């Protein structure tokens, strides 16, 4: 757990509590992996170094896909587009400032956010810079690109809507954040003329994309406990819209489903996570703070299964891979689980330093990025056909 401390003074008691909270993952011994019988083998398509990795620092610089490109950025400012098939570098540009939020690729653009409170937009074809815009503080989540705007969340609780052509500010919303928060922010989701995002006060809000007017606000997590640390209720996971239903989750709170047209809660399930949800036609998949993988019936909110084989192994958020979900862990393993049962069906060790971000899946490929700057593109091995 990484805490963002706004207040400059802490009592000695709070400081001690903070040390305990920050060391949770060391106190709880990671689960040893049990042997499994793999139902399929994995092939390495290609792997490349992508500059400076995040190490143990927080970063939301997971790659993005645009047509035949895999686009990746490193914390020092290097942005690289790789050919999806071969791994060859198509273009590369150094933005010459530390990056922290991104990447988003959409509408022929690449958008990233920096630690120095800038949003930078590039041409996806050649990496040429189109514009830079100043915002109020560092950008910790990937921007959203939709219609005529680039929408950005900043670490001080603000939302900025920037003109997609030149970066001019069209509107912004300011929200006071609590003294203690989880380091990170919910990436904005822009869809159907609405911007959805979570806040560090445990609430989820919707805004009109054109005007910035707040449409509604709903609580996902409620403060509980006697200490300021135990009452943290951040909503850092990016909301997910599937059909006409909104899915979201918070730290020390719930996973929820809400009817987008009425704002009515359909169900809620108590859990705590800061990682993005995965939603498919049947289930919602959440990775909780202790590493439990939970599958929830999308229609009813009932828990379908739990997988505790990765407890305290810091699994990434889950990605969709056909009949399976896939996650990485802190030792560099990639794990595949059956969607219907949660049982492990395949596993491979790719990296000695562990994975920083959730897998990125496209077609039959899985893209994994390590904490120390390596990207791996893998897929299921083809079975030999019998004569």
Predicted pLDDT of residue 23: 41
Please calculate the CA angle 371-186-328 and round it to the nearest 5 degrees: 30
Global pTM value: 0.87
Q: How many CA atoms lie within 13 A of 377 on its CB side?
A: 24
Predicted pLDDT of residue 261: 74
Distance CA 356, CA 59 (A): 8
Name residue 149's beta-bridge partners.
146, 163
Length of the chain: 387
Predicted pLDDT of residue 60: 67
Predicted pLDDT of residue 319: 97
Predicted pLDDT of residue 20: 39
Return per-residue pLDDT of the chain as tens, 387 residues.
434 433 333 333 333 333 334 444 458 899 999 999 999 999 999 999 887 655 555 456 889 999 999 999 988 999 999 999 999 999 999 999 999 888 999 999 999 999 999 999 999 999 999 999 999 999 988 999 998 999 999 988 899 999 999 999 999 999 766 554 455 577 899 998 999 988 877 788 899 999 999 998 888 766 555 555 554 555 678 899 998 899 998 888 889 999 887 778 899 999 988 899 999 999 999 999 999 999 999 999 999 999 999 999 999 999 999 999 999 999 999 999 999 999 999 999 999 989 978 999 987 899 999 988 889 999 998 765 444
H-run or E-run covering 241 = strand 240-242
Distance CA 159, CA 135 (A): 9
CATH architecture of structural domain 57-174: Beta Barrel (2.40)
Predicted pLDDT of residue 5: 37
DSSP SS3 for 27: helix
Predicted pLDDT of residue 218: 84
Distance CA 248, CA 284 (A): 10
Spans of all domains in the chain: 57-174
């Amino acid at each position: 757990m990484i805490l963002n401390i706004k207040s400059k003074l802490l009592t000695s008691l709070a400081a001690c509590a903070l040390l305990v909270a920050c060391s949770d993952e060391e106190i709880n011994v990671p689960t040893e992996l049990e042997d499994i019988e793999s139902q399929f083998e994995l092939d390495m398509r290609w792997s490349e170094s992508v500059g400076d990795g995040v190490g143990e620092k927080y970063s939301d610089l997971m790659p993005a896909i645009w047509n035949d490109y895999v686009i990746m950025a490193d914390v020092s400012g290097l942005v690289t587009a790789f050919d999806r098939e071969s791994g060859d570098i198509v273009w590369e540009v150094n933005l010459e400032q530390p990056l922290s939020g991104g990447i988003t690729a959409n509408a022929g653009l690449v958008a990233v956010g920096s630690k120095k409170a800038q949003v930078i937009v590039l041409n996806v074809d050649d990496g040429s810079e189109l514009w830079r815009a100043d915002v109020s503080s560092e950008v910790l989540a990937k921007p959203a690109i939709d219609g005529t705007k680039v929408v950005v969340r900043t670490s001080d609780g603000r939302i900025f809507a920037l003109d997609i052509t030149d970066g001019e500010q069209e509107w912004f919303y300011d929200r006071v954040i609590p003294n203690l928060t989880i380091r990170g922010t919910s990436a904005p989701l822009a869809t159907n003329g609405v911007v959805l995002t979570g806040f560090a006060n445990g609430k989820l809000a919707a805004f009109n994309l054109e005007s910035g007017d707040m449409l509604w606000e709903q609580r996902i997590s409620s403060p509980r406990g006697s200490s300021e640390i135990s009452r943290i209720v951040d909503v850092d996971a990016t909301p997910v819209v599937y059909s006409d239903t909104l899915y979201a989750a918070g730290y020390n709170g719930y996973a929820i489903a809400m009817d987008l047209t009425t704002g009515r809660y359909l169900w809620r399930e108590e859990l705590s996570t800061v990682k993005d949800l995965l939603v498919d036609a049947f289930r919602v998949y959440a990775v909780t703070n202790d590493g439990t993988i939970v599958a929830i019936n999308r229609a009813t909110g009932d828990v379908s299964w739990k997988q505790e084989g990765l407890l305290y192994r810091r699994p990434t958020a889950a990605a969709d891979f056909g009949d399976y979900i896939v996650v990485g862990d802190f030792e560099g393993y990639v794990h595949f689980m059956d969607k219907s049962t949660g049982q492990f069906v395949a596993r491979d060790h790719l990296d000695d330093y562990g994975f920083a971000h959730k897998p990125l899946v496209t077609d039959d490929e899985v893209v994994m990025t390590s904490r120390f700057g390596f990207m791996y593109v893998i897929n299921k091995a083809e079975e030999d056909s019998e004569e």
